[in-house]
Amino acid sequence: MGKPVIQKDPFKCPTPYKPTAGKRYTDALGRSLFAISTAVRDRNVSDCLRSVRPDITFSRTYEVECDGSGNLCKGIIAKSEEAKALYVAYKGSTAGKQVFAEMLHGLTAQLGAWEKFESQDAGVINYFHTAFYRLFIDSGMEDDLMDLMKKHKNYRIWLTGHSLGGSLASMTALHLVKKKHVDKNRVRLITFGEPRTGNIAYAKEIEENVPFRYRVIKRGDPVPNMPAPLNPAVLTAAQYNRQAMHYRYLVHYDNNMAKGDDFSVCSVADDLGCRNTALSNLADHTSYFQIDQDDFIRNHCPRHELI
């Protein structure tokens, strides 16, 4: 056993994971949500959903320019009467300029340049802040979701996304609860390969306001390691509070994520001691559940490959 470590911030102490019925993560649940997240990448979202999630009978797509470089951000709202669920899903980052822009904004965030989000202290990366407001607020996506929530008051609200899409999903979950648009117990958040979206106060806000929340990470995926926090031993208290931080709970697949592979759930914030953050394999970021998302779409979203 290692030596005990005294944490300056109680937030970093373990919070036991209690897998109670209806509130636990399962591999089947992850695959079901990843199917929706992947469908957002398709030009014909409804066709992909019809193949991989035939219970979803309604979907609406939103797409906007999310920065000054012509990069697009995309999201959908979908409904399953069978599951009594509404879904909000976001597309992940595109390669090239968009990833570079996110990394650049992440570097400034490392130095404490956060955009305030839903509280005085909580902050998110500037790129994500701009993308969220352009896509979810200004495009009419929020208004349409509000209308659906009023019509289906007993439906759960599922939020999901991969990479950048995961950050937008977590921001949407917090926004809906903080604005009192929905009771927090109706909200379900599951993201895949989500980077560190915000600072410590943001992570705390997510944990306080979104009880059902999981971040799924595959083995050596490097994106969740960004932006990297600085060594707390050399930081002042004020500098420490401006550092990037993950919220609980990490679902870690230390394998290829094949059907039947196991996973672990981490009880500490920022994944400390639960996964080897020194591992870095970009292929792990693009092959969750053993599928290449672009190939999956080109093959018309074959359900048997994922679910």
Residue spans of the domains in the chain: they are: 10-301
pTM of the full structure: 0.93
Q: Does domain 10-301 have CATH number 3.40.50.1820?
A: yes
**Which of the pair, 14 or 219, is modelled with greater confidence?**
219
Mean pLDDT computed over 195-217: 96
Bridge pairing between strands 187-192 and 156-162: parallel
Per the listing, tokens 């600085």 go with 230
Q: C-alpha dihedral over 268, 270, 272, 275, to 10 degrees? A: 110
Contact present, 52 and 39 (Cβ < 8 Å):
yes
Asked whether residue 98 carries a pLDDT value surpassing 80, the answer given is no
pLDDT in tens, 75-84: 999 999 999 9
Q: Which residues pair with 192 in a beta bridge?
A: 162, 216
pLDDT in tens, 255-277: 999 999 999 999 998 887 899 88
Q: What is the pLDDT of residue 240?
A: 78
Within 10 A of 195 (CB to CB), how many other CB atoms are there? 25
Contact present, 220 and 259 (Cβ < 8 Å):
no
Could you give the percent of the chain with pLDDT greater than 90?
A: 72
